[in-house]
Amino acid sequence: MYVILVYDIGQKRVGKMLKLCRRYLHWVQNSVFEGEITEVKLKELVYEAKRIMDEDQDSLILFKNRDAKWMDKQIIGQERSPTDQFL
């Protein structure tokens, strides 16, 4: 499946979260990631994220698409990320 992940996380935990997300997805911009991922790998990512997060303060949102083909991406201005996973 194709996911877009956005987080809003306390300064102290942000480095760990960035590192974790980079292991599973492609960095897009700021605290935004995207990529193709399996259900199992996504569960792993969420499990690890929860261990980093303070769930009373931090927020992590996943937008899941069954397939990237249902989605279209438009970039205005600078493209922060060098990779583009869209066909």
- Known binding positions for Mg(2+): 8
- What is the distance between the alpha carbons of residues 25 and 45, in angstroms, rounded to a whole number? 10
**Closest residue by Cα to residue 7 from 69, 62, 75:** 62
Residue reference for tokens 């279209």: 72
- Measured from the CB atom, the residue of 8 and 19 that comes closer to its own copies is 8
Chain residues binding its own copies by CB under 8 A are 4, 6-8, 28-32, 34, 46, 49-50, 53-66, 70-80
- Measured from the CB atom, the residue of 19 and 86 that comes closer to its own copies is 86
**Minimum Å distance from CB 40 to its own copies?**
15
**Minimum Å distance from CB 38 to its own copies?**
15
- Element housing 2 (H / E): strand 2-8
- Chain-centre distance of CA 75, in angstroms? 17
**Minimum Å distance from CB 57 to its own copies?**
7
